[in-house]
Amino acid sequence: MLYFGLFIILVGVDQTIKYIVLRFFNSYALINASGPFSIKGHSYLFALLGLIIIGVFLFAIKKQASKDKNLILPIVLIISGGISNIIDRTWRGGVVDFIDLKIWPSFNLADILITFGVALVILNEIKRVCR
């Protein structure tokens, strides 16, 4: 239940930040209707693809997560970021990106959650293999 609460909070914070950026700092926002790495396509297709990837990821890692509790937080981070971006694609027609470092494509908090979650999964796997 704790992790479900964290999921709700993370998605809520990301969606709230995106709403505030769109409402009050619109010049900093970019609606990215493309897919990852600016692949052109339909937002609904990428939303569906995102749901499929999340499903496959959950299925593939579920057995390992039941054995290794260190994977639960990374899964929550990945799913939270993925669902928040899918909400954007469904409701806004594209993902709202608002962080622009000029050395990398624009991104958002959901992308950070996904990246950290994947990094934690990789680190956990490296630790497991090296034992």
List the catalytic residue out of 68, 88, 100, 111: 111
For residue 14, indicate whether it is catalytic: no
Taking the CB of residue 14, how many other CB atoms lie within 10 A of it? Answer: 24
Give the active site residue among 14, 68, 97, 100.
97
Q: Are 126 and 68 in contact (CB under 8 A)?
A: no
Which residues make Cβ contacts (< 8 Å) with residue 38, sequence separation at least 6? 32, 105
SS3 content of the chain, % helix, strand, coil (to 5): 75, 5, 20
The angle formed by the CA atoms of residues 46, 74 and 37, to the nearest 5 degrees, is 30
* Of residues 118, 8, 122, the one with CA closest to residue 54: 118
Has 97 been annotated as catalytic?
yes
Residues annotated as part of the active site? 97, 111
